[in-house]
Amino acid sequence: MERIEIGFAGIAILLGLIGLRVPIGAAMGGTAFVGIWAMMGWNPAVGISKAIPFTLIGDWNLSAIPMFLLMGFIAVGAGLTKGLFGAARVFLYWIPGGLASSTVVASALFASASGSSVASAAAFSRIAVPEMLESRYQAGLATGSVAAAGTLGALIPPSVLMIVYGMLLDTSISSLFIAGIIPGILTALMFILLITVRCMLNPSLAPRVKIEVSSAEKLALIADAWPLPVLILGVVGGIFAGVFTATEAGAVGAFLAFVLALIRGRINRHMLGRALRETASGTAEIFMVVLGAALFARFVALATLPNFLINSFEGYSTLTVLLMICALFLVLGAFLESISIMLLCLPVLGPLLMAHDVNLIWFGVLTIKLLEIGLVTPPMGMNVFVIKSALGGEVSLSQIFKGASWFIFIDMVTLGLLIAFPILSLWLPNLMSGG
């Protein structure tokens, strides 16, 4: 068989293994090993399989992943996220659909710190949805806002997905973090605009809730909610100011989360031990997937698939190529989880993007945005199933998907704006670099 044929056979086998629920890291690594063996022989396959993990694990950039995970586990374990919804609710209750908009703000901050859209969806299913249902909010609006808002954690820094993207395409992780700020804020504002307009046109979706709160109570709510915004601003602000790199920011963030928990008197041996264990477990899972992806990327390169793809798309405009890639990501997002999609596609698509002179920072933001949409897209929208599991029989799966569909629509509008106006993603990185 020719190398290109082995390459396509490898992709088909990989997709089959994923369909059989084989762990993605094992599927990619195993497929790559067998493919390299078929192309080059046993000894080169063994040699490459030894060299790549050794080189990859020694990459300093990877140290950011366990540090940011530790930051999130400490923040959540110490209860630094608990006051978010209460504070947001008091300050936004007066707008139509105020409880849902409060959920968007609080969930975005929570997901950004925890680094997990799924954790955010699970938490706010128990915090915000019961209160909205009790206030006679439509079930689809209540659950859809939680499902959609949780996805913002991937875009608003710090983001593990951005670290993985930066490593796969050799792109500045600091620039990626800063590039996600405006698109993340824009997405949150678009969600709030959608909620407000829908509730103005149809007040029965979200009856007005009147909350009487004194100035002293407002100050108490702010005092309860301030640690998490300070944590995020400290990390992102330090990167933007050039005080430390994105890799160093992970350690700074973990230390700052520890200090804030200490100040709030919420640190103890049990919580810290649990945070460390969860960090070790999460890091191992991510590293196994990344190692498999690194081997698969080498297999793809040796099979000359990137060159084949570049030649196949010769003559197509950059916009056409970009839109086709977006369509691919949207389809895959309905069936696979985010890191798997990136690791499967980027080794093949990276050379094509560079051949078309696509700005990889800008495309990184688009990639994360597309992966966000996949988290709420049927039939496998992960956030939707997490919410259903948390709520049990209170709300049906179809109600949650129907409610989330409005947010998918507005996400597509936001995606169009990000494609049409790259400056939305690139302005802050350009300021940071002095460009």
Segment-wise mean pLDDT, segments of 10 residues, the chain, 435 residues: 86 86 85 92 89 78 83 82 75 84 84 71 81 88 89 82 87 91 93 94 84 73 79 87 84 90 85 90 84 86 85 86 90 79 85 91 94 84 83 83 93 95 94 66
Using DSSP's 3-state secondary structure scheme, residue 430 falls into helix
- Strand ranges in 61-131 using DSSP code E only, listed in sequence order: none
The CA distance from 315 to 272, in Å, is 56
The CA distance from 399 to 214, in Å, is 36
The CA distance from 431 to 268, in Å, is 41
Q: According to the model, what pLDDT value does residue 207 have?
A: 85
Q: According to the model, what pLDDT value does residue 62 have?
A: 76
Burial label, 32 (beta-carbon count in 10 A; 0-12, 13-18, 19+): buried
Q: According to the model, what pLDDT value does residue 52 have?
A: 83
Q: According to the model, what pLDDT value does residue 36 have?
A: 93
The CA distance from 407 to 145, in Å, is 8
Chain centroid to CA 253: 18
Chain centroid to CA 74: 19
The CA distance from 286 to 297, in Å, is 16
The CA distance from 26 to 396, in Å, is 35
Q: According to the model, what pLDDT value does residue 433 have?
A: 61
Burial annotation 233-258 (CB, 10 A radius, 16+ → b, else e):
ebbbebbbeeebbbbbbbbbbbebbb
User: Shortest CA distance to 85 belongs to which of 52, 39, 132?
Assistant: 132
Q: According to the model, what pLDDT value does residue 121 have?
A: 79
Q: Note the pTM of the prediction, 2 decimals.
A: 0.86
- Strand ranges in 211-296 using DSSP code E only, listed in sequence order: none
Q: How far is CA 57 from CA 51, 129, 169, 171, 290, in A?
A: 10, 41, 16, 18, 10
Q: According to the model, what pLDDT value does residue 116 have?
A: 67
CB 432 within 8 A of CB 242: yes
The CA distance from 395 to 393, in Å, is 6
CB 256 within 8 A of CB 125: no
The CA distance from 174 to 342, in Å, is 19
Residue positions counted in the chain: 435
Q: According to the model, what pLDDT value does residue 135 have?
A: 85
Q: What is the CA radius of gyration of the chain?
A: 22
Angle subtended at Cα 119 by Cα 27 and Cα 92, rounded to the nearest 5 degrees: 145
